[in-house]
Amino acid sequence: MSLHVRQARLSALSLAVLAGPMSFGIAGPALILGEVADGLGVSPATATWLVTVFGWGIAVGTPLMSGLVGHRGVRATAALCGLLVLVGSALALVAPSFPLLLAGSAAQALGAAGLTGLAMHLADSPRRMGMATASLAVVGSVSPLVGSLVSDLLSWRVVLALPVVAVLAVPAVLGHARQEPSPGRFDATGAVVLTALVTALVFVPHQPVVAGIAAVVVAAAFALHLRRRPDGFVPAVLVRSPAFLGAAGLAFALAVGNFALIYALPARLTELTTWTSAQIGVAMVWPLLFGGGLSWFVVAASARMRPRLLIAVLVVAGFAAALTAAFTGWAFGLLAAQAAASIAAASGQGVLAVRATAAAPEEHRAAAIGLFNLCYLLGTAFGPAIVALLVSA
């Protein structure tokens, strides 16, 4: 399919607004899950499923919506994703039961993932890519505090609806993109198999044996389908590219560490200090904001730096953050670890995304962005789930 996008007229601010609000759904509930549990009469552990379902939605939605870009174009994808976010946010505000709230979270996540993927697809330089990925990190940095404040002032339901802000940028995309009809046939089987594989992987931390076996079985089916349709929903050239797989794998690892810390820190800081929930939210802003803000400069400058050295530095920073968080009993040491993890993950997403798409043929750029983001966003599902398992053990 041939896409003609007037990228230069779509401002960097529009890219940031399109991508950033997804972080409200990822990190916004970090300090209010107890209020959600009380409001709906469920246990705190059950309330954590909101985060897991949102993580599942963005993991599944990322490749699905990127595939839709390749099949139907930017405008159709933007319209559908905007509608999903609106419907999901409406359910967050009015759903009378927890299952309906989960359905709204899933719809919201599917749409938000697509809008974020569009922002990265439309980013035509490291600087603009850095704007999109840094917006995710910056919004994520203030999301726990914003969530706490909005919950106190309004309601926890409004917190869950905050990803709707991304819809404000949809008119700009609709006004500055046009597409030609796709001559190709959509690989529905490939999309279904990939969705099943992602679903099994998301549930691995919760049901290791059952979900692990399911993941192996679906992965085998995925491999067989890939041989039959090498240019299908998942292009075989990407799966067989060491550069692409390496970039996506590192992005996943950095995301797991970062999002695990975001959900582990409130409990750890409560144990080590006498800070209130609001004070903990304020304390967590500076390391996350510092990491997210600095990431824009790192990604923008990455074109002038030695890529292997830069990636090695980011990996070391992420590993050091995990070790520090695991062994320190000092509150400010934990906050420093969060800053390092935030820098590593946010910068890594932008730097590694550029590397991953450079390894893909131009006709598979949308698919490469989708699959790369899938790997990164799986970290948003694994990180909090791993923390919940460790807490309950």
Fold of 3-187+229-392: Growth Hormone; Chain: A; (1.20.1250)
* Neighbouring-strand partners of residue 3: 179
The encoded tokens of residue 37 equal 């549990």
Is residue 8 very low, low, confident or very high in pLDDT (cuts 50, 70, 90)?
A: very low
Partnered with residue 4 across adjacent β-strands are 178
Q: What's the rounded Cα separation, in Å, for the pair 169 and 22?
A: 13
pLDDT above 60 for 7: no
**When comparing pLDDT for 378 and 91, which is higher?**
91
Enumerate the β-bridge partners of residue 139: none
273 vs 12, more confident: 273
Interval 282-288 mean pLDDT: 83
199: burial class by Cβ within 10 Å (0-12, 13-18, 19+)?
middle
Sign of torsion over alpha carbons 107, 101, 342, 15: positive
Average pLDDT rounded to a whole number, residues 196-220: 86
> How many residues are recorded in the chain?
393
Whether the pLDDT of residue 186 is over 80: the answer is: no
Give pLDDT, residue 5: 41
Angle CA 248–161–72, to nearest 5: 55
> How many of the other CB atoms lie within 10 Å of CB of 37?
19
Q: Alpha-carbon distance 383 to 340, whole Å?
A: 16
pTM assigned to the model: 0.77
Percent of the chain beyond pLDDT 90? 17
| Per-residue confidence (pLDDT) for residue 393, from 0 to 100 | 55
**Would you put residue 232 in left (φ > 0), alpha (ψ -120 to 50) or beta?**
beta
**3-state DSSP assignment of residue 187:** coil
**Side-chain-facing half-sphere of 91: CA atoms under 13 Å:** 20
- Position 144 pLDDT exceeds 90: no
Q: Are 338 and 260 in contact (CB under 8 A)?
A: no
pLDDT band of 82, cuts 50, 70, 90: very high
Joined together, the tokens standing for residue 273 give: 């200090």
Where does residue 21 rank: exposed (0-12), middle (13-18), buried (19+ CB within 10 A)?
buried
Return the percentage of the chain with pLDDT > 70, whole number: 93
The answer to whether residue 1 scores a pLDDT higher than 50 is: no
Find the mean pLDDT for residues 107-135: 83
What distances in angstroms separate CA 39 from CA 32, 33, 150, 151, 307, one per listed residue? 11, 10, 15, 12, 48
Domain ranges of the chain: 3-187+229-392, 188-228
